Amino acid sequence: MKTLLSLIVVLIGLGLHAQEVFTVTGKVQHISYYQGGAQLSDEMMSPKPLPNTKLYIVQYYGPKEKTKVVSSFTSDKNGNYEVKLPPGLYGFVLSKDEANTGIYLPGMKVTKKDSTVNVNDLLNAGEAHQDYWILSTNGPFEVINKDLYNVDLTHYDVTICYMCP
């Protein structure tokens, strides 16, 4: 009886120290198009589900600090996902290798002060390709003290032709 009482006290103590977690849900989406002079329809510009996509959740500490993988998920057939996270600031990466680079979006590049793009170089090339991700929260998302919904991640794969009629 004494042992059982001690076990109950220990389990209650452990339960009190457990960190509260909250549900985060959203969609992983994809927009892909080739712009060649003609006006694109709204349908072509609308996000489509990106099913069966594995992503890692990273805890984000700032652009100069390394991020840490805390969870992962694979989107369902409709691009939906759901994870449980404790309070903190988070983002997504495609691989564990990206996790230690201080980013919160897949493929995100840290822009240097002196990096510039010459518009004439783009025009002379005839077309430009862009491959990037956007998070619906416009930055790392923060879990504070409630569930978060519609934390959507959209992948853009866009080619624009500058010389097309």
DSSP class of residue 139 equals S
C-alpha 155/C-alpha 94 separation (Å) is 11
Q: What is the pLDDT of residues 72-123, one digit of tens each?
A: 999 999 999 999 999 999 999 998 888 877 788 887 754 444 444 455 554 4
Q: What percent of the chain has pLDDT over 90?
A: 48
Give the pLDDT mean for 15-34. 85
Mode of pairing for the β-strands spanning 127-135 and 88-93:
unpaired
Amino acid at 120: N
Tell me what pLDDT residue 109 has. 59
For residue 38, give Cα distances in angstroms to 18, 76, 122, 130, 165: 57, 34, 19, 19, 8
- Selected residue with higher pLDDT from 161 and 69: 69
For residue 8, give Cα distances in angstroms to 1, 14, 20, 63, 98: 11, 10, 21, 44, 43
CATH architecture of structural domain 20-108+118-161: Sandwich (2.60)
Phi and psi at 39, nearest 5°, equal -65, 130
- Selected residue with higher pLDDT from 151 and 122: 151
82, 73 Cβ separation under 8 angstroms: yes
For residue 31, give Cα distances in angstroms to 78, 125, 133, 134: 14, 23, 10, 11
C-alpha 133/C-alpha 151 separation (Å) is 13
Tokens of 103: 């980013």
